């Protein structure tokens, strides 16, 4: 049993998984909505980025991640990474409630109507076709934005390159007659101000709030008891290896999310659910 188990059951705990820092905005949004909730943030930093990797490899990784969260006392866990969300849907449900970004994209697209929409995502997500299948009532144009997402993932300060890549992505949306685009990668959050600045008439939809809504529906209602101290003890920041960004500092300075110092963990080898 891993050391993420809590000693008591009074504090609701949500697990948030991402290959890197892309899930931190979601974790911060959960904390803003529910200050009583503990956060267990797990980054598979040793094997990031997931975007360029084949789906069979990512599915194996996610079998390990799922086994990890099944051995915690989280009330629910959310796959904040869209690429990982595509892979995890092939795995059986466990005891712990699991939310993924495919569900969040579906929820976010519900208000778009039947207009053609663009889907900006990693190469792996685009190649899988899962997002298109998840939106059967929409005419979806997929656009892979791998280079832009890699810069966003590591918090690059090369604003000129980020702006140029963003302009290219928006231009592809215009060429495809897409007036609405769903940002199907949590790393887009890091460059969202630039994207909105150059989007022009294209409406950009970030499914983050939909993911937060789906996640909070799965955990206990707020308690009237003063649990801030207990919540702090429940928070964890877990990495599988070194990350080029100081994850704890980034969470605090960029998002106002205070997490404890990171711990390095080894993900378990699942007895079932993985592929070779």
Asked whether residue 218 falls in the same domain as residue 188, the answer is no
Task: Answer whether residue 154 is part of any domain.
Answer: yes
DSSP state of 240: S
Asked whether residue 22 falls in the same domain as residue 98, the answer is yes
Asked whether residue 151 falls in the same domain as residue 178, the answer is yes
Asked whether residue 118 falls in the same domain as residue 254, the answer is no
Asked whether residue 138 falls in the same domain as residue 192, the answer is yes
Asked whether residue 48 falls in the same domain as residue 130, the answer is no
pLDDT of res. 9? 47
Which residue range is the domain that position 238 belongs to?
A: 13-102+211-264
Query: Do 117 and 139 meet the contact criterion of CB atoms below 8 Å apart?
Result: yes
Among 159, 187, 207, residue at a domain's last position: 207
Report how far residue 181's alpha carbon sits from residue 206's, in angstroms, rounded to the nearest whole number. Answer: 9
pLDDT of res. 112? 83
178-214 pLDDT per residue, tens: 999 999 998 898 888 889 999 999 999 999 999 999 9
Report how far residue 236's alpha carbon sits from residue 3's, in angstroms, rounded to the nearest whole number. Answer: 10
> For the whole model, what pTM was predicted?
0.86
In the block, residue with structure tokens 């990171």: 262
For the chain, list residues with pLDDT below 70: 1-10, 155, 157, 223-232, 271-276
Asked whether residue 203 falls in the same domain as residue 167, the answer is yes
């Amino acid at each position: 049993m891993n050391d993420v188990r809590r000693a008591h059951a009074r504090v609701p705990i949500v697990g948030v998984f991402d290959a890197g820092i892309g899930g931190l905005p979601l974790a911060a949004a959960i904390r803003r909505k529910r200050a009583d909730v503990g956060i267990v943030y797990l980054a598979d930093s040793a094997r990031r980025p997931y975007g360029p990797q084949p789906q069979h490899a990512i599915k194996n990784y996610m079998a390990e991640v799922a086994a990890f969260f099944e051995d915690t006392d989280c009330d629910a866990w959310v796959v904040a990474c869209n690429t990982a969300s595509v892979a995890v849907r092939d795995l059986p449900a466990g005891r712990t409630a699991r939310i993924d970004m495919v569900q969040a994209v579906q929820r976010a697209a519900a208000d778009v109507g039947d207009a053609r929409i663009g889907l900006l995502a990693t190469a792996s997500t685009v190649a899988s076709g899962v997002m298109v299948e998840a939106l059967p009532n929409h005419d979806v144009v997929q656009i892979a934005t791998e280079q832009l997402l890699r810069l966003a993932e590591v918090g690059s300060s090369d604003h000129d390159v980020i702006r140029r890549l963003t302009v290219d992505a928006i231009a592809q949306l215009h060429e495809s007659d897409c007036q609405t685009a769903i940002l199907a990668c949590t790393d887009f959050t890091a460059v969202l101000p630039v994207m909105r600045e150059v989007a022009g008439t294209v409406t950009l939809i970030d499914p983050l709030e939909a993911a937060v809504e789906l996640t909070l529906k799965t955990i206990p209602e707020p308690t009237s008891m003063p649990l801030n101290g207990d919540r702090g003890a429940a928070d964890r920041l877990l990495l599988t290896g070194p990350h080029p960004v100081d994850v704890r500092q980034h969470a605090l300075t960029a998002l106002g999310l205070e997490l404890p110092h990171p711990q390095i963990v080894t993900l378990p080898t699942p007895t079932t659910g993985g592929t070779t």
